[in-house]
Amino acid sequence: MADRFRITLGQLNPTVGDLAGNAALALDAWQAGKDAGANLVALPEMFITGYNAQDLVMKRAFQLDVMAHIEKLAADCADGPPLAIGAPWAEGTELFNAYLILKNGKIASRMLKHNLPNETVFDEVRIFDSGPLGGPYAVGNTRIGSPICEDAWHPDVSETLAETGAEFLLVPNGSPYYRDKMDTRMNVMVARVVETGLPLIYLNMVGGQDDQIFDGASFALNPGGKLAMQLPAFDAITTNVDLERTPDGWRVVEQAFAKYPDSYEADYRVCMLGLRDYMRKTGFKKVLLGLSGGIDSAIVATIAADAIGPENVRCVMLPSEYTSQASLDDAEAVANALGCRYDYVPISEGRAAITNTLTPLFAGTDEGLTEENIQSRLRGLLLMALSNKFGEMLLTTGNKSEVAVGYATIYGDMSGGYNPIKDMYKTRVFETCRWRNENHRDWMMGPAGTMIPETIITKPPTAELRDDQKDSDSLPDYPDLDAMLDILVDQDGSIEDCVAAGFDRATAKKVEHLIYISEYKRFQSAPGPRLTKGAFWLDRRYPIVNRWRDPS
């Protein structure tokens, strides 16, 4: 009986719907495994379709196309090690989230996901049928159990596999990032190892899909929960992990551990990778954004430069008579530090034309928010014109605090195709700017050093839509606002929870009111990378028409 078992792991980045491209990635990984003498080549959950494919997998024509690509892949991999790959799989009227073992030119075994996640960003109960509890599959004389992602977050599947003869667990995942999730993953997988007494290999995909970013960081645990292997976070990598047979069963051969980044670095890389993959997978090569001299557009410009290179980023200053010289200087300083193109497009003539057009209709009314928003919408119009003319995707730059309370102009500064900081509160933006100024990594395409001047970080936030305007004129100070938003949005808490945390009841009720009445804006807003379990879109789903308010 063999005393060594090698698995080639493909911690790779599939694209939703690109069946041929994903199959090509799978074939490359399989070839690498064949060349390395692997006994098995393994890929993540739902790899052939990309994940999370949502309702696309319910389309019958798509299911048939998946089957055709799987059959061809099985044929292409017939003369080497088995290939384990995730796929949706239809049987009769049922549709399963499956893990298929391709061997000798055919599907030799299949695992069907039993526990279907139905929370946060997942709706698998709506899409898939639950598979039965099953046993392990054989690769040569070795029996392997593969709980599929969520199946490993519950004890029943792993225990059944252990009881029916599995010698180790190989867990394929499509597990998206949220802050500090790695600790949760590790704790849950250690529990499975302790319960079953079996080694466990956790294989996760990498890459961005709309708002969800998969962070990889695949790892292996030996009995007792001892870490034996950890792959780099966010990097696509094909590598080998070996197991040795001992008198006590299989054990993963230890190898070097990659360190998981801290939360600031991880968040920043999620924002950057989310943008990079969104562009790559939709076909955009360049971006533009309005660079106001404020902190939000400064960090977005920096993220963009790091994601796709400064030469592919256009920064546009669109000043009005309310734009301060400090803002002009700060915006140009950011663009110059990054090495991005910098365009100067005053809006005064366009604004005067719009004002003159509307004067007969606005006669007898006072100037106010409407006139302020005309400036923002004119900027949106000009930026979209540049986007259309040059094929550059417009980035929107509103932070989570603004998105939460609607402190943004729909069809104005909310215009754009992607928002890299959509799930980052304002206070976190300040801290992230300082982190980026002090840190540079080899995965950043922008230059090292201070990209965001201290003057941007320290000046009072302002939209500069009227004389001497400050964000604090309309909103609580951001540390207080963000703390209340964390309670009301991320923790799904109440007004009483805000009061218990030391906040004024009337202020908390105002913030809650702003959250609810801004739902229609968020419904029309650009997607952005998910950093928390309280992200706007799939994590938090509320009706637009909603008269309920917390009565406390």
In order, the DSSP letters of 22-62 are HHHHHHHHHHHHHHTT-SEEE--TTTTT-S--GGGGG-HHH
Q: Which of 45, 124, 392, 464 is catalytic?
A: 45
- Whether 389 sits among the annotated catalytic residues: the reply is no
In one letter, which amino acid is 545? V
For CATH 3.40.50.620, list the domain ranges present in the chain: 264-465
Question: What average pLDDT does this structure show over 375-402?
Answer: 97
pLDDT at 484 over 90: yes
Query: Distance of CA 341 to CAs 279, 332, 477, Å?
Result: 19, 10, 33
Name the band, by pLDDT with cuts 50, 70 and 90, for residue 428: very high
Set 103, 124, 149, 426: catalytic member: 149
Query: Tell me, what's the pLDDT at 86?
Result: 98
Residue found by looking up tokens 């923790």 in the block: 491
Which pLDDT tens digit goes with each residue over 439-462?
999 999 999 999 999 999 999 888
- Average pLDDT of the chain? 96
* pLDDT of the residue at 465: 79
> Using one digit for the tens of pLDDT, what is the confidence trace for 113-159?
999 998 889 999 999 999 999 999 999 999 999 999 999 999 999 99
Confidence category of residue 1, pLDDT binned at 50, 70, 90: low
Instruction: Give the model's pLDDT for residue 181.
Output: 96
Q: Of the given ranges (136-140, 280-284, 536-540), which has the lowest mean pLDDT?
A: 536-540
Q: Would you call the peptide bond into 52 cis, given omega within 30 degrees of 0 as the criterion?
A: yes
CA distance 108 to 228: 29
Q: Is 167 a catalytic residue?
A: no
> Residue 433 catalytic?
no
Name which residue leads in pLDDT, 474 or 262.
Answer: 262
Whether the pLDDT of residue 236 is over 90: the answer is yes
pTM comes to 0.95
Q: How confident is the model at residue 473, as a pLDDT? A: 80
The two tokens of residue 285 are 């090569």
| pLDDT per position as a tens digit, 310-336 | 999 999 999 999 889 999 999 999 999
Is the distance from CB of 319 to CB of 330 less than 8 angstroms? no
CATH of domain 264-465: 3.40.50.620
CATH number of 4-256: 3.60.110.10
- The span from the CA of 71 to the CA of 69, in Å, is 5
Q: Where in the chain do CATH 3.60.110.10 domains reside?
A: 4-256
User: pLDDT tens for residues 341-366?
Assistant: 999 999 999 999 999 999 999 999 99
By percentage, how much of the chain surpasses pLDDT 70? 100
User: Is the per-residue pLDDT at 2 higher than 80?
Assistant: no
Phi, psi of 533 (to 5 degrees): -85, 5
- Catalytic pick among 103, 113, 426, 521: 113
Task: Check residue 468 and give its pLDDT.
Answer: 78
pLDDT at position 402 = 95
